[in-house]
Structure 1
Amino acid sequence: MIFKVYYQESIKQAPVREKTKTMYVKADSERAVRTKLSNRPYNIEYIQSVEGKYFEYEKQKEDFQVLEIG
């Protein structure tokens, strides 16, 4: 399953919409995504599953790249 992660680059940074970044991560669950990203200094705002028509829409974006973090 693919998840879209909304985050700030620093855990010390307060969430500000204009500075929010996104990434796509392949994992079995939201919990697995959080575990995979736990060693990075990100302030994770929200994790959303991407499937069906929404997945097809997201794939059309220029910056669409799925991370397979081990």
Structure 2
Amino acid sequence: MIFKVLYQDTLTQQAKRETTKVIYVKANNESDARRLVEKNTKYNIEFVEEISGNHLKYEENEPGFKITKFN
């Protein structure tokens, strides 16, 4: 499954819509997606959402779409 993760750059930064960024990750479920990002970054995660079907097709057509892989 593909998950869209909305985040702020640092854990100390208060969430503001204007500075929210996004990454996409593959994971088995929402909890695994959140753990994967928490383990590999210092991001302040705002929201994790599974995307599929038409929503995924739409996101794939966006210029910045890329599935992030962590080592």
Cα distance in 1, alignment partners of residues 34 and 58 from structure 2: 24
Note the alpha carbon deviations across 1:7-66, whole angstroms, 9 max, x for none: 000000000000000010011111111211123111000001110000000000000001
Q: TM-score, normalised by structure 2?
A: 0.92
How many residues are matched?
A: 70
- Which structure 1 residue ranges, 5 or more long, are not aligned? none
Cα distance in 2, alignment partners of residues 50 and 6 from structure 1: 13
Percent of aligned positions with the same letter in both sequences?
Answer: 37
Cα distance in 1, alignment partners of residues 62 and 20 from structure 2: 17
The match for 2:27 is 27
Q: Structure 1 residue runs of 4+, over 4 Å off?
A: none
Q: CA deviation at 1:69?
A: 2.8
What is the alpha-carbon root mean square deviation over aligned residues? 1.0
- Give the structure with the higher percent helix: 2
The match for 2:49 is 48
Residues 4 and 23, structure 1, Cα contact 8 Å, conserved in 2: yes
Cα distance in 2, alignment partners of residues 37 and 58 from structure 1: 19
- Which structure 2 residue ranges, 5 or more long, are not aligned? none
